[in-house]
A and B are shown apart, each in its own frame.
Chain A
């Protein structure tokens, strides 16, 4: 019996020394707190009562720290405990003045954040409309709803913190902050960082690819990875060239080329992937631009538009708008296409442009006819007018290419 116990004890000691002891301690800690790693990338929580602020507060803290690092590499000297007195503030009146200003700044920031949270919550109303109209399945609606709610919640929590800080701030805290001489800069940084973080969060949650991930994971393969990496290059190249090519059309063509290359050779992009992607992008841009130049001009009779947006006639030169357009004082653009609503699946965007399907909205559905077919700017009857909406892989009726 003694021998057995000694053997088991030795075995236990060997086991615990082979693995880091802290790993076992972590696991017990997590077990008792109900936290479980489903995988390294997903953590299951015991309940939703704890709000996790890392994504919101982390960038704020990082920005402040990195700004100070740029000024003084001895980071330890920068963050002084608030109870130290700043010798530059010598009288009570000055302290009161600064205190009042700081509190006001904090409360103003809190107001801004509350307003932005409300705007995000208003976006949910559109989700409900889409659900009721059948454009969204219930599962899609639920996931998008939760995502938007999380983002709005992050705004609210940050706003509450600003309010709380404003209420609790005392003179000695204020003196400490002023001693670091970063207060006004910090306020701007905080606002920018929160806005950036929340915009990033919105981009992530309303990006169709991420929503697809949240709803149901798709297997990724190398070609999809490269396609995503190429997307970043496309915007930059189009910007550099000053090209008027629609980026979505270009992305579709580049993606097809990438897939085609990888079908022949899986390792094709492993050497100088960036150079190869850029070459493909530039080739496709050239092709699209040539196609655009060869676009045949439509017959004049197809371009005549009827005025549906206002009570004027189709001849609008008197109001400064070109043929086929009418003046709209309350629109984002002064001249809007008169017959936009008569084009199948065509409609006005929020700023008066004539667009197709669900293109550009947060609920953009790639299965909708989102590709717009437009007359050229030289077409006199209705220059640059939308005349048809087709699906992304279809050609425009006049064998042209669409602008998005």
Chain B
């Protein structure tokens, strides 16, 4: 009886182990698309960037597509990627001196948790922004530490923007 119990336990354990390994390693891990690599080769990483996810697909196959805007203030250029593809470039007029962010777009992903993002950007001085006009849904949370701002919807990252302006010295 004991032997049978152990045998069943081992089988269950192996199944669990296989499932975990399968999930861990089946996730696609491409971090940069070929278009993005071309742009990095030509211009380096962006000084600032915005990441968001726009609705796409169809009713039968609803999807969110990653949309990134990379900003190069010295070049006066702003480039837009949709789903990793470079789709648009536009003139960028900077309104203040911009310091390069230390983060890279590939540091952040849709399914990161708040804790994971906080570990990346630093937990110190990170706090939730409350009472923003127009945001009343309790499932939507906005966080910032003054350098990065991000929005979590239903526990998923759907918007992130870097701030890298030279800080004003005046205090109100």
Contact = CB atoms under 8 A, between A and B. Distances in A.
A binds B: yes
Interface of A: 1, 4-5, 8, 11-12, 15-16, 19, 22-31, 35, 37-45, 47-48, 50, 52-55, 57-62, 64-66, 69-76, 79, 81-82, 106, 142, 146, 150, 158, 161-162, 164-165, 168, 173, 176-177, 186-187, 190, 201, 203-204, 207, 209-210, 213-214, 217, 220, 222, 225-226, 228-229, 231-232, 235-236, 269-270, 273-274
16 contacts: A25-B113, A39-B28, A42-B63, A42-B64, A52-B55, A57-B140, A61-B135, A65-B149, A71-B172, A73-B146, A75-B125, A187-B133, A228-B79, A228-B86, A235-B91, A236-B76
A81 B13 CA distance: 49
B83 A53 contact: no
A363 to B, nearest CB: 18
Contacts of A22: 113, 115-116
Given A4-B10, A41-B33, A65-B163, A209 B53 contact: no
A148 B61 CA distance: 17
A74 B33 CA distance: 37
A69 B163 contact: yes
Interface of B: 3, 6, 9-10, 13-14, 17, 20-21, 23-24, 27-31, 33-35, 38-39, 41-43, 50, 52-59, 61-67, 75-80, 82-91, 96, 109-113, 115-116, 125, 127, 129-137, 140, 142, 144-146, 149, 151, 153-156, 158-161, 163, 165, 167-172
B44 to A, nearest CB: 12
Given A22-B116, A60-B132, A48 B82 contact: no
Contacts of A232: 77-79, 89-91
A42 B65 contact: yes
Given A28-B23, A52-B53, A222-B38, A40 B149 contact: no
Contacts of A55: 52-54, 67, 158-159
Contact of B171 (A29, A73, A164): A73
A293 to B, nearest CB: 29
A236 B91 contact: yes
Nearest to B116: A22
A82 B131 contact: yes
A8 B18 CA distance: 12
A269 B27 contact: no
Contact of B28 (A31, A37, A59, A142): A37
A41 B91 contact: no
A57 B61 contact: no
A274 B151 CA distance: 35
A214 B89 CA distance: 18
B131 to A, nearest CB: 5
A66 to B, nearest CB: 6
A248 to B, nearest CB: 16
Nearest to A49: B62
A136 B36 CA distance: 32
Contacts of A173: 131
Given A61-B135, A65-B149, A73-B146, 11 more contacts: A5-B13, A22-B113, A38-B28, A57-B134, A57-B140, A64-B133, A70-B165, A76-B125, A204-B82, A217-B85, A220-B35
Contacts, number: 266
Given A58-B159, A273-B42, A204 B87 contact: yes
A44 B142 CA distance: 24
Residue among A16, A44, A61, A79 with most chain B CB within 10 A? A61
Contacts of B82: 204, 210, 213
Given A41-B84, A71-B172, A165 B64 contact: no
Contacts of A222: 38
Given A26-B113, A79-B131, A210-B88, A61 B142 contact: yes
Contact of B56 (A11, A58, A214, A229): A214
A340 to B, nearest CB: 32
Nearest to B69: A200
Contacts of B132: 60-61, 64
A168 B42 CA distance: 51
B66 A40 contact: yes
B86 to A, nearest CB: 5
Nearest to B109: A40
B136 A52 contact: no
A66 B163 contact: yes
B91 A225 contact: no
A316 to B, nearest CB: 40
Contacts of B77: 229, 232
A50 B112 CA distance: 18
B24 A19 contact: yes
Contact of A50 (B13, B54, B154): B154
A289 B140 CA distance: 54
Nearest to B92: A232
B154 A161 contact: no
Given A73-B146, A213-B83, A27 B27 contact: yes
A42 B66 contact: yes
Given A58-B52, A61-B142, A70-B165, A190 B133 contact: yes
